[in-house]
A and B are shown apart, each in its own frame.
Chain A
């Protein structure tokens, strides 16, 4: 049965679903990258994702409009980001703990709304596959990369965009300056608060889309706590990727490919306990953190509130 894994169709299947499953990780972790580069750790990603997932699902199922679902998830995520920004920037709340608070809030509220407004698990017809002309006809490569739903393409496009914004634009320079040395940035006339508001709200918006990608593109259902901690992994991926979009992409692919492999192992009935297989990416993340943390440095001002000297 192990040999089944090595057949071409199965390998293509594993890789294609691996690419697809990377979507929520990418949206959430790229958003979190912006926040952390500006010096704010948002630990509430999972809560933002859950609310985004529910909102997108509910809007999609009641209006039948998937894009309206995405848009509402973005709005909800942005509002959660706004609240997080106010609490961390204006009230200087400890970021790790307030993030847990927002996580619990999103976890509870999404469950509450689900039970009150829907009650039963339903399915929605999510985003369908978009075949990229010409490329999708390529053997193997076409199957793996170019027959995915639209959100997958957007998620992967975000990586170079985020890299470009962070490294090649004035905005990116400001974000990095605020995360490394807020006092210096402030003295040069950059508003630390405004930059951080921007990055946290952007992060919330992308977390909302990450949740929506689960509920109306990948799984097409909503269930309570359906992210099962995926948002926390996304936060870890930012450390894993050393605060760089391409590194984050590497981490996201690692997680999604192992997950996909694990799903296929179950489908094929290979007798490896799936619980142990699911455990592996987490163990691997810890090992990678051990290996990389001493070499790469976090943004200096990460988790430190900034107070202007008057």
Chain B
């Protein structure tokens, strides 16, 4: 017995360390790329570190960048645990921000204490709707959610461009010949409180609180339990009387809602207006994609996603400094993020192998796996919900 628990401790440590190995591998590939660009990788990475953590302001900027990653990542934890692949974070952020911004630029006579919560809630709902549509289509029409969420992203971008160039445009831009697609600025009373003199806003704290709530949702409530059960074995869940379709929709609704909240917080906490360059990332900063990276890195655990988001926030902020100091475009970080994703999902094979060994060992000893064992994340997209 003592032997097996020792092995478990070792195994758990190894599992937790896998993403770190994956990141190190990505950084090594990054170093090789830097060498090929004739840049000293140590100098480049030092600049990144300095840019991300070197001062109070740098640290605050890192947390500002980490906030949308964490919020999107929390949604990803929910959906991926439910075996639903939500690639639609970008679109859900956009729609959440559009609706939330509408609140702030129409209810101008309302007091700030009323507008901010209403706006955040509206953003949350907007994301929920944008995620709910693919959820509904998956549950009832078996439309692959990867495809539908990607389509919904594209639709959201066009919707944003249409609204920000037309009906929602900043009145001061409307008369200009070359219009910047942006809305009017929010009244000062509507802005989330900041930790002066930095741009760190209340949203960061809200996101951390929500991470704890998502943890409770997933592991301490029936809804959460069922979302995970459906994700792991839809057939067994159906047999046990769970309405699988409802939980597929719920997973995407919640996932979208958190992305929507991330979007509206960018408006109320950072920019004080919705602004874009015509592309999705022009508004989101690709947080809808990078949030997936953060959640995977956090092993789809809401609490683990907190440090993961800070890490990737740091990479993004540090990349700007690196660009200034050693003239390496910050696009390098996008490439490295991609590698981290590839390495993290590839390293899953070792975790699965050891898990299988553990299960086999447990079967021989005549005992099941302990209930607190992390569930196996085997995300097969084509789970036939309707079959």
List A residues at the B interface (Cβ < 8 Å): 41, 43, 47, 83, 87, 91-98, 100-109, 111-112, 115-116, 224-225, 228-229, 232-233, 235-236, 239, 273, 275-276, 278-279, 282-283, 285-286, 289-290, 293-294, 298, 302-304
Of A92, A103, A235, the contact of B349 (CB 8 Å cutoff): A92
Asked whether A293 and B143 contact (CB < 8 A) given A92-B349, A97-B296, A116-B329, the answer is yes
Asked whether A224 and B348 contact (CB < 8 A) given A275-B161, A293-B142, the answer is no
Q: Which of B114-122, B200-208, B339-347, B362-370 contacts A (4 or more CB under 8 A)?
A: B339-347
What residues on B are CB-neighbors of A92 within 8 Å? 348-349, 352
Asked whether A101 and B339 contact (CB < 8 A) given A93-B349, A96-B85, the answer is yes
Of A102, A293, A303, the contact of B338 (CB 8 Å cutoff): A102
The answer to whether B339 and A111 touch across the interface, beta carbons within 8 angstroms, is no
The answer to whether B147 and A239 touch across the interface, beta carbons within 8 angstroms, is yes
The answer to whether B338 and A91 touch across the interface, beta carbons within 8 angstroms, is no
Question: Measured between C-beta atoms, what is the minimum distance from A306 to chain B in Å?
Answer: 13
What residues on B are CB-neighbors of A47 within 8 Å? 338
Q: Is B305 an interface residue (CB 8 A)?
A: no
Assign chain B's interface to a size class. Answer: 35 or more
The answer to whether B382 and A302 touch across the interface, beta carbons within 8 angstroms, is yes
Question: Measured between C-beta atoms, what is the minimum distance from B134 to chain A in Å?
Answer: 9
The answer to whether A112 and B332 touch across the interface, beta carbons within 8 angstroms, is yes
Asked whether A236 and B345 contact (CB < 8 A) given A104-B334, A275-B162, A276-B162, the answer is no
The answer to whether B379 and A282 touch across the interface, beta carbons within 8 angstroms, is no
List B residues at the A interface (Cβ < 8 Å): 33, 37, 85, 87, 137, 141-144, 146-148, 150-155, 158-159, 161-162, 165-166, 279, 281, 289, 292-293, 296, 328-329, 331-342, 345-346, 348-349, 352, 379-382
Of A94, A96, A105, A289, the contact of B335 (CB 8 Å cutoff): A105
The answer to whether B141 and A293 touch across the interface, beta carbons within 8 angstroms, is yes
What residues on A are CB-neighbors of B154 within 8 Å? 229, 232-233, 279, 282
Closest 5 interchain pairs by CB? A108-B334, A108-B335, A104-B338, A101-B341, A105-B338
What residues on B are CB-neighbors of A97 within 8 Å? 85, 292, 296, 341, 345, 379
11 more A-B residue pairs beyond the given contacts A94-B345, A235-B150, A298-B382, with a C-beta to C-beta distance below 8 A: A43-B146, A93-B342, A101-B342, A108-B334, A111-B329, A116-B37, A273-B162, A278-B158, A285-B151, A286-B137, A286-B143
What residues on B are CB-neighbors of A43 within 8 Å? 146
20 A-B pairs with CB atoms under 8 Å apart are A87-B345, A87-B346, A92-B352, A93-B346, A96-B87, A97-B379, A100-B341, A101-B339, A101-B342, A101-B345, A105-B339, A106-B338, A112-B332, A233-B154, A236-B150, A239-B144, A273-B162, A283-B151, A286-B148, A289-B143
Question: Measured between C-beta atoms, what is the minimum distance from A151 to chain B in Å?
Answer: 25
What residues on B are CB-neighbors of A111 within 8 Å? 329, 331, 334
What residues on A are CB-neighbors of B146 within 8 Å? 41, 43, 96
Asked whether A279 and B158 contact (CB < 8 A) given A107-B338, A293-B142, the answer is yes
Question: Measured between C-beta atoms, what is the minimum distance from A50 to chain B in Å?
Answer: 11
